[in-house]
Structure 1
Amino acid sequence: MIYDIAIVGSGPAGLSAAINAKIRNKKIVLFGTENLSNKLTVAPSIDNYLGFFDISGEELKDKFQKHIESLDIEINTNKITNVYAMGDYFALMSGENMFEAKTVIIATGIQYGKPIKGEEEFLGKGVGYCATCDAPLYKGKRVAIIGYNKESEEEANFLNEIASKTYFIPMYKNEGLYRSVNIDEGIEIIKEKPLEIKGSKLVDKVSFKHKNIDVDGVFVIKDSSSPKTLVPGLESHGAHVKVDINMNTNIPGCFACGDCAGKPYSYIKSAGQGQIAALNAVAYLEKLKKNNTKTE
């Protein structure tokens, strides 16, 4: 199946894009997580979302959930690691799985903090962002999981079933989370900040202040992926995707919205941009349809 619109990200921007595209009767696929948005669920109070004041992030998330369920929109939990522009369509990769869509909306949120030294240099050369996607490549090998969220623990446990040695490096800012790390027996936990991912042509070690560990692969598990590593050729300005007022990127048929498209970082702004992206994706599809009709 070739979808009309593929949406990557299930925060307010992605969800808004999904409902507006669905209302316009487009075939959509929405990639995200079951809890929709980690950033949203931890918000203690939201007071600037029109119509919903003095509401917790968890409560707002529940309202978002009911809205998408009312339109029969489901979350596809396959983690998209690459999006390739193929001319007439886009190929979205998740491990051995590939999804095809005529247009793509990037709503991945913003990455906080700088990448680890060597992370971007060795992307695709031993560094990856989805352990469950690339696990078969590391059967019987030594791997490290650098985890920025609790979901990374599940990926470490999964990978440990096939790897010869698994290291887990928790990068949680909340010290309390360290005490609740749910890691299977046999996984070595390193509670030290990694300084650099090293190698020659491929990754071969991770260095810390007081030691190095030899590895064949490193997985960096974050809440969001950098759009410029997700979509080759996508123009960015710092951490943000370059977009125009209609949420167009430099790649025809590819749109971006929400935090990844720039400041201010606001739930209501993200929802508004999601609508703009969806409506312009619909207009782009109509333009494609007319052009194809003329050439027939």
Structure 2
Amino acid sequence: MYDIAIIGKGPAGISAAINAYARNKKVIIFGQDSKKILWAPSIPNYAGLPNITGNEFMERLNDHLKTTDAFVVNQNVLAVYSMGTHFSIQAGTEMYEAKKVILATGVDFKKTIENEDKFLGSGVSYCATCDAPLYKGRVVAVIGYNHESIEEANFLATVCSKVYFIPQMKEDLSNLDKNIEVINSKPLRFEGSFSAEKLVLENGEIAADGFFVLKDSYPLTSLVPGLEVDGPHVKVDRNMETNIKGLYAAGDVVGKPYQIAKAVGEGQIAALNACE
């Protein structure tokens, strides 16, 4: 079991990992490099590093992270469950345990598809690798928001009888399995009785046995059952602790201003309090 699990590998998450390591804690950190940072042409207001590019800043964060013994898992976390004395964390098909958790996922303003939460676990899934066996020989649809969704759709094509792919990002689809049918449209809502049976699109609809919504982040209340939120943000106290004991949050996910310096500072505060 880890002492502290950190979900998110941006400035807040890496700051938390560095500070937890400094307190001799066993740390695990989940996620990929922050796209928000990587895509920044320059960062003009970070003290001591004037006009550093986002790519250079992310490289420095990773170099610092490598000086610790934090275990890095380059996967998105699907769910965090409070077990009372510790937390269980699902990432892909694997489960991990930690005494404390720090959320540093950033903020995502993408709207969920209507009824996505309602049918989650009943025809709607966030993990193709996990749930593909349930749809062996059946029809599925993938709503893809990132590059990884292409790989997941290709995997589903080896298991399912038919795969639809509804891309919601600008990506080269040349590596997509030729048997996958691409539908370029905006998803509006899921419909069904007891489980999702069809996806209504802006210009049509798709009937399928299962629907996979694959993106970089998921609704906070789906990620952590029982978590108190305010819109896209997590509610925290001055110690960066949420309403769930032992669960902390830092960075953009707790609110404005969306600044790197703020995220780094909050990551430190969350880590130091989680270490107590």
Q: What's the TM-score, normalizing by structure 1? A: 0.88
Shift of 1:229: 1.0
Shift of 1:181: 5.3
**Which residue in 2 is equivalent to 1:214?**
207
Shift of 1:128: 2.0
Q: How does 1:37-52 map to 2 (within 5 A)?
A: 37-52=34-49
Shift of 1:81: 1.1
Aligned counterpart in structure 2 of residue 88 of structure 1, from 82, 85, 89: 85
Q: How does 1:118-157 map to 2 (within 5 A)?
A: 118-157=115-154
Deviations 1:232-275 (A, max 9, x none): 00000111110011101000000011111111111221111111
Structure 1 residue runs of 4 or more that deviate by more than 6 Å after TM superposition: none
Q: How far apart are the structure 2 equivalents of 1:181 and 1:251?
A: 44
Kept after mapping to 2: 8 A contact 1:38/1:223: no
Cα 1:275–1:86, aligned 2, differ >3 Å: closer, same or farther?
Answer: same
Kept after mapping to 2: 8 A contact 1:145/1:167: yes
Deviations 1:74-123 (A, max 9, x none): 42124321111111111112354211111111111111221111111111
Q: Could you list the runs of 5+ residues in structure 2 that have no partner in the other structure? A: none
**Which residue in 1 is equivalent to 2:108?**
111
Aligned counterpart in structure 2 of residue 257 of structure 1, from 247, 250, 253: 250
**Which residue in 2 is equivalent to 1:291?**
none
- 1:168 equivalenced with 2:165 (yes/no): yes
Q: How far apart are the structure 2 equivalents of 1:138 and 1:22?
A: 42
- 1:56 equivalenced with 2:56 (yes/no): no
Q: Secondary structure at the match of 1:81?
A: strand
**Which residue in 2 is equivalent to 1:100?**
97
Cα 1:196–1:282, aligned 2, differ >3 Å: closer, same or farther?
Answer: same
Higher strand share goes to which structure? 2
Q: How far apart are the structure 2 equivalents of 1:139 and 1:53?
A: 53
> Aligned residue pairs: how many?
276
Shift of 1:194: 1.1
Cα 1:85–1:12, aligned 2, differ >3 Å: closer, same or farther?
Answer: same
Identity of aligned residues (%): 53
Deviations 1:23-54 (A, max 9, x none): 11101111112xx1122211111111222221
Shift of 1:130: 2.3
- 1:200 equivalenced with 2:193 (yes/no): yes
Q: How far apart are the structure 2 equivalents of 1:143 and 1:13?
A: 36
**Which residue in 1 is equivalent to 2:226?**
233
**Which residue in 1 is equivalent to 2:7?**
8
Q: Secondary structure at the match of 1:98?
A: strand
Shift of 1:135: 2.3
Q: How far apart are the structure 2 equivalents of 1:194 and 1:5?
A: 37
Letter in 1 for 2:255: G
Shift of 1:71: 1.7
Kept after mapping to 1: 8 A contact 2:116/2:190: yes
Kept after mapping to 1: 8 A contact 2:27/2:71: no
RMSD: 1.6
Letter in 2 for 1:23: A
Q: Could you list the runs of 5+ residues in structure 1 that have no partner in the other structure? A: 284-296
Shift of 1:210: 2.9
**Which residue in 2 is equivalent to 1:31?**
30
**Which residue in 2 is equivalent to 1:19?**
18
Q: How far apart are the structure 1 equivalents of 2:218 and 2:202?
A: 26
Q: How far apart are the structure 2 equivalents of 1:62 and 1:251?
A: 33
Q: Secondary structure at the match of 2:190?
A: strand
Deviations 1:172-218 (A, max 9, x none): 2xxxx355553121111111101111111111111113321111222
Q: How far apart are the structure 1 equivalents of 2:137 and 2:261?
A: 47
